[in-house]
Amino acid sequence: MAHGIRCGTAKTDKKFCKCECKGNKHGNQAGLDEFMNDEFERAINESFGGEVENYINSIKNQEFFCMCGKILIAKNFIAHPHEGGLIDAEGYTWWLHIHCPFCNYDIAYWKVKNRVDTMKRQKKNLKKLEKKK
């Protein structure tokens, strides 16, 4: 298996690494820059323009829950070319996700947006309940 972003952000022991780095880049963030220059998956930000910019700006730095229950912040977006993704300013389409460093789940961009919106509603409802007390 090729080296991937999961190695640099992994929380488990490096002896469990199954990729070509053999654990040397496991959990230390080193190698992420090298990996992000890969032709397949890369860091992406609002400078890509188009739908990518609009999406990132709409949720950037917002809190949301991962499936594992941890609260994450919408930042450090990762993308790979994908026909069903968001279109950048140059017409390329990208599938965006955020990687959870706690459970290693890659959360698709549309799920992140839904969870950000849910978190906002929950906070708003909590404030209403606190005012009633």
Domain count for the chain: 2
pLDDT digits (tens, 9 = 90+) for 30-60: 444 544 444 577 888 899 999 999 999 999 9
Give the tens place of pLDDT for each residue, 90-114: 999 999 999 999 998 999 999 999 9
CA distance 121 to 107: 20
**65 and 119 housed in the same domain:** yes
Do 46 and 89 share a structural domain?
yes
Domain that residue 30 falls in = 1-38
Residue bearing tokens 């906070």: 123
pLDDT greater than 60 at residue 74: yes
Do 105 and 66 form a contact (C-beta atoms < 8 A)?
yes
